[in-house]
Amino acid sequence: MKKGEFARFWAEREARTGLVNEHGSLNTKRFLALDSATYADGELSARTKELMGLVASLVLRCPECVAYHLKQCLDAGVTTPELVEAMDVALLVGGSIVIPHAREALETWLELQKK
Amino acid sequence: MKKGEFARFWAEREARTGLVNEHGSLNTKRFLALDSATYADGELSARTKELMGLVASLVLRCPECVAYHLKQCLDAGVTTPELVEAMDVALLVGGSIVIPHAREALETWLELQKK
Amino acid sequence: MKKGEFARFWAEREARTGLVNEHGSLNTKRFLALDSATYADGELSARTKELMGLVASLVLRCPECVAYHLKQCLDAGVTTPELVEAMDVALLVGGSIVIPHAREALETWLELQKK
Amino acid sequence: MKKGEFARFWAEREARTGLVNEHGSLNTKRFLALDSATYADGELSARTKELMGLVASLVLRCPECVAYHLKQCLDAGVTTPELVEAMDVALLVGGSIVIPHAREALETWLELQKK
Amino acid sequence: MKKGEFARFWAEREARTGLVNEHGSLNTKRFLALDSATYADGELSARTKELMGLVASLVLRCPECVAYHLKQCLDAGVTTPELVEAMDVALLVGGSIVIPHAREALETWLELQKK
Amino acid sequence: MKKGEFARFWAEREARTGLVNEHGSLNTKRFLALDSATYADGELSARTKELMGLVASLVLRCPECVAYHLKQCLDAGVTTPELVEAMDVALLVGGSIVIPHAREALETWLELQKK
């Protein structure tokens, strides 16, 4: 997403989630419920799992997923140096095609921190 | 694509296809011809193949391909509950990274239906 | 898988599923349950959804998933010419990297048919 | 990227690279340095490697990577018919999901050539 | 890999790494050195990074990478319930195509634990 | 593939191609014909295109495609240092998940050279 677009992204995400809840099947809703349940505190902390979700989203190059997990990581108290090391794992594993996503992620992260 | 951008997307697609037809090689054109031929009625109906093309485009996370197959599915008479079940297969097979594409697909679908 | 290995593959799959059921979490089991539920008859027939699952597995190049859906397609009465057209969609959408998987799928399919 | 957006893309890329240089770790910087070093003249010419980078970026469907390698290919003296043949390899290997990226690449290429 | 093949896999890996060290370029060696450096203790523990590497390897479906990170996770003291939760994140994010890899990973993990 | 298995792989490939030619549709055959045509000498040499096909196959992690292009590269007179630089591009672009494929490719390459 372009600089400064996080709020627009979030509103779009909410509106579209509303459409999915209205038109989705029982299986659609089960999938979304499982999405939330998977990141809850358990044997691993929610914080660690959100960082894992971030790394997975970076190597799979899903900008919306990256933006979502950045928000969750910030709320979970992840620091910038920790974020950078998670990004390093994603860069190494996923290669240079992850660079544009890592660059965008860092920009979004710094914006979210300022708020 | 953002809400309400389908017409812009389609015009851009047409203009760019023009450039490919002008500058492409014989092999480029063979590939594009095969792209059309593959979805024609045969042992499986064009309708079923368009739904398959939609599922494949969702799991491979190609927004332009998704938008194209949504248009073809609508023209082939696919209903919203059928579309939702195709999306469910894509979500299950492709995982949560497909969610942003499924959300966008549903928004585009509902817009296309209104026209 | 190599020629004639379907039975071995299936037994390995069963044994490993046993390990997942023994050691998996509640969320692991929810995911597996959703996997089954998604292919049930609904707005689209199980037959159509299995073909979709096959196309998705081919373009994502998952040999075990392909083998599984081939078995389901056979049980659902899919014919060889229908299978070939589903493979054509996968080849076109996913490109030449799908060829080795399509070749293997056809070999497995013809073996399964003989039984 | 939309028509005419190359300059905006390039400026955004520069700004974000600045953020990565400011906040990145030693490993982040090593990765970026290796990215540059890999495309230098060696046993294969930089020109050939940039074309390889373009094909890899197309099949992995990374629009920013494609735009970057197009610029490098232009600077290395690649001709339009050569570019088209590289695109043909990418289309064939990666399939129809590469088409939107090939179309966009051609549009960007023709724009860059005019400057 | 098939049951009981971890030792064979590891020996093959060692032999092939020898070939890469013998024939690789300076850039090949830099890449491999960066691979090791990225998982060292830092702002995040090596343990957490190995789990991230495992999740990334599962969603990208790289069996050799999964086997390698399982070994590293075991050496770092990861428990089976923690491993299962990491697998759950990978299943959710990457979808049902990850299931065969998760099943194989669990089998390998239990074998490694017995030694 | 395991060490020394190239001949077995090639025979399996031939046998399966026979099945595809027997059971495939007109579109299946068009796709395979286009696969051959794309790598012919043209604006770019067949040699350069085979190296591009190798890089694309490595970053998409298709072992059969890699083995095939290695054979074509050998027949086209590619040298080991050139091959290594092509592998370096693939490692950099595709990341550490390409390492197992690069290792296997190098082993296969050295075997093919000895014959």
Report the C-alpha gap between A21 and B32 in whole angstroms.
37
Q: Which ipTM was obtained for this model?
A: 0.97
Q: Which two tokens stand for residue D107?
A: 């549009």
pLDDT-above-70 percentage for chain E: 100
Rounded to the nearest 10°, the torsion over CA C104, C106, C111, C115 is 140
Q: Which residue of chain B is at minimal alpha-carbon distance from C87?
A: B38
Determine, yes or no, domain membership for A80: yes
Query: Nearest Cβ partner of E106 from C13, C20, C56?
Result: C20
Mean pLDDT of B87-108: 98
The closest alpha carbon to B64, from B11, B22, B19, belongs to B11
Q: Which two tokens stand for residue D75?
A: 């600077």
Mean pLDDT of D32-50: 97
Give the CATH number, domain containing residue C105: 1.20.1290.10
Residue B115 in this model has a pLDDT that exceeds 90: no
In a mutagenesis test of the E interface, which of A72, A73, A93, A96 is the best target, namely the one with the most E β-carbons within 10 Å? A93
Mean pLDDT of E99-113: 98
pLDDT confidence of F115, banded at 50, 70, 90? confident
Average pLDDT, chain F: 97
Determine, yes or no, domain membership for C19: yes
Contacts of A52 in chain E (CB under 8 A): 51-52, 55, 86, 89
Contacts of A110 in chain D (CB under 8 A): 19, 23
Q: Taking CB atoms and an 8 Å limit, are D98 and C98 in contact across chains?
A: no
- Please tell me the distance in Å from D43's CA to the nearest CA on chain B: 29
Query: C2 CB near a chain F CB, below 8 Å?
Result: yes
The closest alpha carbon to C85, from C110, C68, C61, C102, belongs to C102
Q: Coil, strand, or helix at residue C88?
A: helix
Residue D92's pLDDT is 98
Residue B102 in this model has a pLDDT that exceeds 90: yes
Contacts of F64 in chain C (CB under 8 A): 100
Residue B85 in this model has a pLDDT that exceeds 90: yes
Report the C-alpha gap between D103 and D101 in whole angstroms.
5
Q: Which residue of chain C is at minimal alpha-carbon distance from D100?
A: C93
**Chain B residues 23-52 with CB within 8 Å of chain D:** 23-25, 27-28, 31-32, 35
Determine, yes or no, domain membership for B57: yes
Range of the domain at A88: 6-114
Q: Are A58 and A101 in contact (CB under 8 A)?
A: yes
Contacts of C56 in chain D (CB under 8 A): none
Residue E32 in this model has a pLDDT that exceeds 90: yes
Q: Are F60 and C99 in contact (CB under 8 A)?
A: no
- Please tell me the distance in Å from C37's CA to the nearest CA on chain F: 31
Residue D115's pLDDT is 83
Side-chain half-sphere CA neighbours of E89 within 13 A:
32
Report the C-alpha gap between C104 and D99 in whole angstroms.
26
Report the C-alpha gap between B28 and B31 in whole angstroms.
5
Residue D104 neighbours by CB under 8 Å, 6+ apart: B16, D1, D63, D66
Query: D92 CB near a chain B CB, below 8 Å?
Result: yes
pLDDT-above-90 percentage for chain B: 98
pLDDT digits (tens, 9 = 90+) for F39-74: 999 999 999 999 999 999 999 999 999 999 999 999
* Helix (H), strand (E) at residue A45: none
Mean pLDDT of B64-93: 98
Q: Are A90 and E56 in contact (CB under 8 A)?
A: yes
- Please tell me the distance in Å from C105's CA to the nearest CA on chain A: 26
Average pLDDT, chain E: 97
Q: Taking CB atoms and an 8 Å limit, are F34 and B38 in contact across chains?
A: no
Query: C70 CB near a chain F CB, below 8 Å?
Result: no
Report the C-alpha gap between E46 and E50 in whole angstroms.
6
What is the sign, positive or negative, of the torsion defined by CA atoms of D74, D80, D81, D86? positive
Q: Which two tokens stand for residue F18?
A: 């026979």
Determine, yes or no, domain membership for F1: no
Determine, yes or no, domain membership for C1: no
pLDDT digits (tens, 9 = 90+) for A87-99: 999 999 999 999 9
Mean pLDDT of E10-25: 98
Look up tokens 């040298």; give the residue.
Answer: F79
Q: Which two tokens stand for residue B102?
A: 């499924």
- Please tell me the distance in Å from C80's CA to the nearest CA on chain E: 24
Q: Coil, strand, or helix at residue A43?
A: coil
Mean pLDDT of E7-31: 98
Tell me how far the alpha carbon of residue F104 is from its chain's centroid: 12
Report the C-alpha gap between A109 and D23 in whole angstroms.
11
Contacts of B91 in chain E (CB under 8 A): 95
Residue A10 in this model has a pLDDT that exceeds 90: yes
Residue B50's pLDDT is 98
Average pLDDT, chain C: 97
| Widest Cα–Cα separation across chain C | 41
Q: Which residue of chain E is at minimal alpha-carbon distance from F102?
A: E20
Report the C-alpha gap between D52 and F76 in whole angstroms.
17
Residue F80's pLDDT is 98
Query: Nearest Cβ partner of B93 from C53, C84, C92?
Result: C53
What is the sign, positive or negative, of the torsion defined by CA atoms of A86, A88, A89, A94? positive
The closest alpha carbon to D95, from A100, C83, B62, belongs to B62
Residue A115's pLDDT is 83
Please state, in angstroms and as integers, the Cα–Cα distance from residue E35 to each residue in D22, F48, F107, following that order.
22, 29, 20
Residue C8's pLDDT is 97
Report the C-alpha gap between E72 and E70 in whole angstroms.
5
Determine, yes or no, domain membership for B1: no
Q: Taking CB atoms and an 8 Å limit, are A20 and B106 in contact across chains?
A: yes
Report the C-alpha gap between C35 and B87 in whole angstroms.
13
Residue C115 in this model has a pLDDT that exceeds 90: no
Mean pLDDT of C25-52: 98
Q: How would you classify residue A61: left for phi > 0, otherwise alpha for psi between -120 and 50, otherwise beta? A: left
Q: Taking CB atoms and an 8 Å limit, are E93 and B96 in contact across chains?
A: yes
For helices A46-59 and E46-59, the axis angle rounded to 10 degrees is 50
pLDDT-above-70 percentage for chain A: 100
CB pairs under 8 A between B and E: 26
The closest alpha carbon to C36, from C53, C60, C12, belongs to C53
- Please tell me the distance in Å from F27's CA to the nearest CA on chain B: 7
Residue F53's pLDDT is 98
Q: Where are the alpha helices (DSSP H) in chain C?
A: 6-23, 26-38, 46-59, 63-75, 80-94, 99-114
Q: Would you call D37 exposed, middle or buried from its count of C-beta atoms within 10 A (0-12, 13-18, 19+)? A: middle
pLDDT digits (tens, 9 = 90+) for F16-30: 999 999 999 999 999
The closest alpha carbon to A42, from E83, E112, C106, belongs to E83
Determine, yes or no, domain membership for C75: yes
Q: Which two tokens stand for residue A47?
A: 């914080």
Report the C-alpha gap between B47 and E106 in whole angstroms.
40
Q: Taking CB atoms and an 8 Å limit, are E97 and C65 in contact across chains?
A: yes
User: How many domains are there within chain D?
Assistant: 1
Average pLDDT, chain B: 97
Q: Which two tokens stand for residue D104?
A: 């966009």
Chain E: partners with 3+ C-beta pairs within 8 Å = A, B, C, D, F
pLDDT-above-70 percentage for chain B: 100
Mean pLDDT of E4-20: 97
Mean pLDDT of E75-85: 98
DSSP strand E in D1-115: where? none
Report the C-alpha gap between C36 and C41 in whole angstroms.
11
The closest alpha carbon to C87, from C55, C65, C61, belongs to C55
Contacts of B56 in chain D (CB under 8 A): 97
